[in-house]
Structure 1
C-alpha cells in the first residue's frame, strides 16, 4: 500500500467498524421490535379471548360486582395494550433512526473505498508515466549513442 493511501485506509477501517456497530444496533433493535410486536399481539389475542369468554358468561349470569371486576380488568388490559403499542412505536422510531445511521455509515465507507480506488488509479497512472518517461529517455540515449557512433564511423571512413 502506498504511503499516501495510509490515512485513507485508516479512515476506511474506522468507517467499516462504525458500519459493523451500526448494523449490530439495527439487528438488536429489530429483535426488540419483533419481540414487542409479538407481545402486543399476545395481549390483543388474550383481550379478545377474555372478552369473548366473559361476554358469554354475562349472558348466562352476571352480577354487578362481577361486571365491575370484568370492566376493571378490561381497562387494565386496554392500558397494557396501549403501552405496548407505544413501545412498538418507540422501537420503530429508534429502528428507523438506526437504519438511517447505518445507511449513512455505509455511504461514507463506500465513498472512502471509491476515493482509495481513484487514488490507486492515479498512482498507477503516475507510475506508468514515470516508467514511460524512463523508457523514452533510455531510447533517446541509445539513439543518440548510435547516432554519435554512426557519425564517428563516417568520420573514420
Structure 2
C-alpha cells in the first residue's frame, strides 16, 4: 500500500472513530436519562404506596381501594417498562463503547503501520545513500591509485 492510501485509510478510520465517540456520547446521555426517569418513577411509586398505606390505616371506602389498586398496577407497569427501557439503553451504550474501542484500535493499528512503512522507507533511503557514498569513495580511491602510479 502506498503512503497516500494508508493516509486515506487513517483519515477514514479517524472519522469512524469520531463518529463512534459521538454515538457513545449520545447513547450515554440516553442511558442516563432512562435511568433517571426510572428512578423518578420508582420514587413516585414509593411515595404513592406510602401515602396510601397511611390512608389505609384510616377507614377507606372500597371504591377508593379499587382506584388505588388500579393505579398502583399501572404505576408498577410503568416502572417495569421504564426499567426495561433503561436496561436496553445501557446495552446500547455498551455496544457503542465497544464500537468506539474497536475504532480506536483500528486507528492505532493504521498509525503503527504508517510508522513502520516510514521507518522502512527511511532505512531503504539510508542504504541507497550509503551505497552511493561507498561507490563514490571506491571510485575516488581508484582514481587516486591510477594517478599515483602514473
In the TM superposition, structure 1's runs of 4+ consecutive aligned residues that sit over 3 Å from their partners are: none
- Unaligned 5+ segments in structure 1 are 153-157
> 5 Å matches for 1:4-153?
4-152=2-150
- Unaligned 5+ segments in structure 2 are none
TM-score, scaled to structure 1: 0.93
Per-residue deviation, 1:105: 1.1
Aligned equivalents of 2:148 and 2:18: distance in 1? Answer: 69
TM-score, scaled to structure 2: 0.97
Per-residue deviation, 1:106: 1.1
Aligned equivalents of 1:44 and 1:90: distance in 2? Answer: 18
Aligned equivalents of 1:62 and 1:34: distance in 2? Answer: 39
Per-residue deviation, 1:61: 2.3
Deviations 1:26-62 (A, max 9, x none): 0000000000000000000010011101110111121
Q: How many residues are paired up? A: 150
Partner-residue secondary structure (3-state), 2:87 = helix
